[in-house]
Structure formats: structure tokens, C-alpha cells
């Protein structure tokens, strides 16, 4: 099975309007930049996007919000995106704000074939409204459904042609869970190597989860919220 694609556009073959798409990364670190740019160019719309964050106005998923390709966001942090704020307050964008740990577990459970799980996070808040509550050992827990996507997009530091991936530092947040939870998972990597090059003990995501892989280009080292002290 040849998983290697020439570019993002070849890797995105089959993405359609109305799909649920999963995106790895933490803030602006480790996000699948090339895949997001290709999605913008393809013009697919009415998307449900699942991500730790919604990018910023001119980068990351903010690009798809700007072109109004996203119908619904399932995220845990959206504080740096004015486009998101305007669309949400106007009722144009549907939002499911999910606690960060719960979102990570929803994705992990989806990849593991677990349909739902109980968590104490969110009990007594709007997060728990309309959901089943059970008591275990005297403590209330809310039932949360797992998340699976039609496509999942991840970005890794290194990957081989079978799809074995190594993430770098904070990019390891969310990417490994997202990689397991897509029907088709697309990995873009900074460095694409031959099978057998990577140390098996260093691999974070086994290639069995990856259906398509390509070498990305023109990555940016963006900072979501730059804070400096007076010197």
C-alpha cells in the first residue's frame, strides 16, 4: 500500500461538503498548515471542525472561518480569534465548547472504539445540560460521547513512508489522539524518510493509523499570543 502523496491536494482527495474533520496541534503549534491551506483552496463548506483551538484570524483554522467554510466548531480554546467571536455572536457559527481534557479523551475514545465514557468534568455546568449523570462512589459523573471524523489531519516532525510518526515537543498534544480517530488520517511531515530509518522506540503514532502522508513545505513558527516583559 503506497501511502505517500505528492502534496496536500492529492492527500485530501475525497473530502466533501458537510464532513466532520479533525485537526491536531496545540494552539498554533503542530497544526497541519498545508492541509488547512489546501482545504481553503478546495472550497469545501458546511464543515464540522474538531480542534483544540480555532486558530487566529489569519492563520490556522481562522483561514477557514474567514472564508465561512466552517459550520460548527468543537474546541476547548478559542480566545485569540476575532472572526470566530463575530460569527459565534451573530449566530452564524455553531460552537460546542468542550473542556480540554474531555476533548482529548473524546478523540482517544473514538480511536479506541469506545463509544462513550463518564467524567466528573463539567458536572453542574452548562457542559452537562441534557446529558446523562450517574453517581460512582458518591461522586457525580457526566456521560460524554466519543468523537470520530471522516478525515483527520495531523502534522509531525518526522515520518516514514509507512506513516510511522514522531512529533516534536508541544506538537505531541492532540496530534496522536486525532491520528487514531479519523476514518482517513492524513499526516503531513517536515521530514519524510524511508521505512526503517526511525527508531521504533521513538515512534509516537504507528503507521497503521495513517492512510496518507506527504512532505509539507513553508511551515511558519507563529506565536498565538506574544507577551513580553519590559527590559
Domain CATH number, residue 53 = 3.40.1080.10
**pLDDT value, residue 119:** 98
Q: Which helix (H) or strand (E) holds 105?
A: helix 100-112
Domain contains 128: no
**Grid cell 498565538 in the structure block, residue:** 224
Q: Is residue 129 part of a domain?
A: no
Residue bearing the bigger pLDDT, 1 or 147:
147
Residue 157, in any domain of the structure: yes
User: Cβ distance 160 to 194 under 8 Å?
Assistant: yes
Cα(145)–Cα(115) distance, integer angstroms: 6
Q: Does 174 fall in a domain?
A: yes
In a domain, 55, yes or no: yes
Q: What is the pLDDT of residues 17-42, one digit of tens each?
A: 999 999 999 989 999 999 999 999 99
* Range of the structural domain that residue 70 is part of: 16-97+148-215
Q: Is residue 22 part of a domain?
A: yes
Please indicate, yes or no, if residue 176 is contained in any of the structural domains. yes
Look up cell 464543515; give the residue.
47
- What pLDDT, in 10s, does the model give residues 87-142? 999 999 999 999 999 999 999 999 999 999 999 999 999 999 999 999 999 999 99
pTM to 2 decimals? 0.94
- pLDDT computed for residue 78 by the predictor: 80
Number of domains the chain is built from: 1
Mean pLDDT of the chain: 95
H-run or E-run covering 40: helix 33-42
**Structural domain contains residue 186:** yes
Amino acid at each position: 500500500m503506497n501511502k505517500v502523496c505528492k502534496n496536500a491536494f492529492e492527500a485530501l482527495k475525497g473530502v466533501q461538503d458537510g464532513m466532520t474533520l479533525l485537526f491536531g496541534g496545540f494552539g498554533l503549534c503542530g497544526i497541519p498548515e498545508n492541509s488547512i491551506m489546501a482545504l481553503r483552496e478546495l472550497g469545501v463548506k458546511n464543515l464540522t471542525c474538531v480542534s483544540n483551538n480555532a486558530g487566529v484570524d489569519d492563520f490556522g483554522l481562522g483561514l477557514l472561518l474567514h472564508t465561512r467554510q466552517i459550520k460548527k466548531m468543537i474546541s476547548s480554546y478559542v480566545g485569540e480569534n476575532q472572526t470566530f467571536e463575530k460569527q459565534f455572536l451573530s449566530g452564524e457559527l455553531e460552537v460546542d465548547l468542550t473542556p480540554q481534557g474531555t476533548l482529548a479523551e473524546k478523540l482517544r475514545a473514538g480511536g479506541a472504539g469506545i463509544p462513550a465514557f463518564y467524567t466528573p468534568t463539567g458536572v453542574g455546568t452548562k457542559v452537562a445540560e441534557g446529558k446523562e449523570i450517574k453517581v460512582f462512589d458518591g461522586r457525580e459523573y457526566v456521560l460524554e460521547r466519543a468523537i470520530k471524523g471522516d478525515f483527520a489531519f495531523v502534522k509531525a516532525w518526522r515520518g516514514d513512508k509507512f506513516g510511522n510518526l514522531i512529533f516534536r515537543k508541544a506538537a505531541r498534544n492532540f496530534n496522536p489522539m486525532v491520528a487514531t480517530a479519523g476514518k482517513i488520517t492524513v499526516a503531513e511531515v517536515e521530514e519524510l524518510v524511508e521505512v526503517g530509518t526511525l527508531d521504533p522506540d521513538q515512534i509516537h503514532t504507528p503507521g497503521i493509523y495513517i492512510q496518507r502522508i506527504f512532505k509539507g513545505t513553508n511551515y511558519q513558527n507563529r506565536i498565538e499570543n506574544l507577551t513580553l516583559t519590559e527590559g
